[in-house]
Amino acid sequence: MLWVSPSCPGCPQPCHCRCHVSNCVFCPAAVLCASSVVFCRSVTAFLLPLPAAGFVKSPMSETKLTGDAFELYCDVVGNPTPEIQWWYAEVNRAEAFKQLWDGARKRRVTINTAYGANGVSVLRVTRLTLEDSGTYECRASNDPRRNDLRQNPSITWIRAQATISVLQSESARAAPPPPPHPPGL
């Protein structure tokens, strides 16, 4: 369906809005506001809200040993397909999340993400150390304003968390201390 609307007062251009099922393309002058109303210089159109992002599969908490690895899965739906990000906060520092990326922590972190009808992402951390303990968070959003720094991230991103506890492995505890170096080396 193509809507052509007369110009509003003071705007010489008509607005063309092509609407498909839950996916609209607007003229370049359009601005989407929080109430899902499009204000264009030449037309005001009322739209149904986009289907919000939702989790199909959320990451699950685990306890692991040093030297092991873990994988966390995140599967989200929405239209358009939501963007997925991974974040981490140290134990007792839940307010200080930092974004993770593929290759972080000396290449021990891998993130594989695929987008189709759903967005699916797998976070894998290998060769675990005690410092890998903490809260891992999958964040997803299909809000077109999700990366606008003026927006409150807690409104535009949904979050699912898992706690990873890394314990010292028995083999690391029982390992003999390294031999002392002879004097002069």
In this structure, the answer to whether residues 80 and 25 fall within a common structural domain is no
In this structure, the answer to whether residues 68 and 156 fall within a common structural domain is yes
How many independent structural domains does the chain possess? 2
Which pLDDT score, from 0 to 100, does residue 62 have?
A: 98
Query: Can you say whether the dihedral through the CA atoms of 156, 162, 167, 171 is positive or negative?
Result: negative
In this structure, the answer to whether residues 58 and 144 fall within a common structural domain is yes
Domain CATH number, residue 66: 2.60.40.10
In this structure, the answer to whether residues 96 and 66 fall within a common structural domain is yes
**DSSP assigned state of 152:** -
In this structure, the answer to whether residues 37 and 84 fall within a common structural domain is no
Domain extent for 31: 2-46
- Distances in whole angstroms, Cα of residue 40 to Cα of each of 12, 49, 131, 181: 12, 17, 51, 76
In this structure, the answer to whether residues 112 and 33 fall within a common structural domain is no
Of 35, 88, 57, 55, the residue nearest 157 (C-alpha): 55
Residue 104 lies inside a defined structural domain of this protein = yes
In this structure, the answer to whether residues 72 and 160 fall within a common structural domain is yes
In this structure, the answer to whether residues 64 and 137 fall within a common structural domain is yes
Question: How do residues 7-26 score in pLDDT, each as one tens digit?
Answer: 334 444 444 444 333 334 34
- pLDDT bin (cut points 50, 70, 90) of residue 50 is low
Residues 30, 42: Cα–Cα separation, whole Å: 9
Classify 104 as helix, strand or coil: helix
Question: How do residues 61-92 score in pLDDT, each as one tens digit?
Answer: 999 999 999 999 999 999 999 999 999 999 88
Question: How do residues 96-133 score in pLDDT, each as one tens digit?
Answer: 999 999 999 999 999 999 999 999 999 999 999 999 99
In this structure, the answer to whether residues 157 and 84 fall within a common structural domain is yes
Residue 184 lies inside a defined structural domain of this protein = no
- pLDDT bin (cut points 50, 70, 90) of residue 173 is low
